Amino acid sequence: MRYNKRITFVTEFEGGYNPETGKNDEPRIEEKTLPCNLSELGITRTSELFGKIDTKIIVARTLRPFKQTFDYVLLNDKKYNVKRQSEYRRGVFYLESAL
């Protein structure tokens, strides 16, 4: 299996008062890019897992499990929401396009 694509996990942090420093923190975004394998989930499998056939689900597989928390992912500068993460393989993500 080739891991020739790149997936970027994005975490957004809100700004606000930081009691440790006594100053206001600016909002910031942290990104982590990893190699991945991408494939599209078929219509029958989409209906079995999610009960819908009109959505396009992309399966992203990373080489190692990604256990950090994140808000959304970017693929080719397009935003995707994680519909589900595999329970037994933590490096498999089911992604749906965010409009």
Cα(82)–Cα(99) distance, integer angstroms: 13
Q: Which tokens is 97 given?
A: 């396009």
Residues 41-66 have pLDDT tens digits of 877 777 777 777 667 888 999 998 88
Structure token digits, residue 24: 């206001």
Task: Quick: pLDDT tens for 25-45.
Answer: 889 999 999 999 999 887 777
pTM, to two decimals? 0.81
Tell me the pairing of strands 57-62 and 92-97: antiparallel
* Residues whose CB falls within 8 Å of the CB of residue 98, separated by 6 or more in sequence, listed in order: 72, 79, 80, 81
- Per domain, the residue ranges of the chain are 5-97
The CATH code for residues 5-97 is: 2.40.10
Distance in angstroms (rounded) separating the CA atoms of residues 38 and 22: 44
Residue 21 — very low, low, confident or very high, per pLDDT cuts 50/70/90? confident
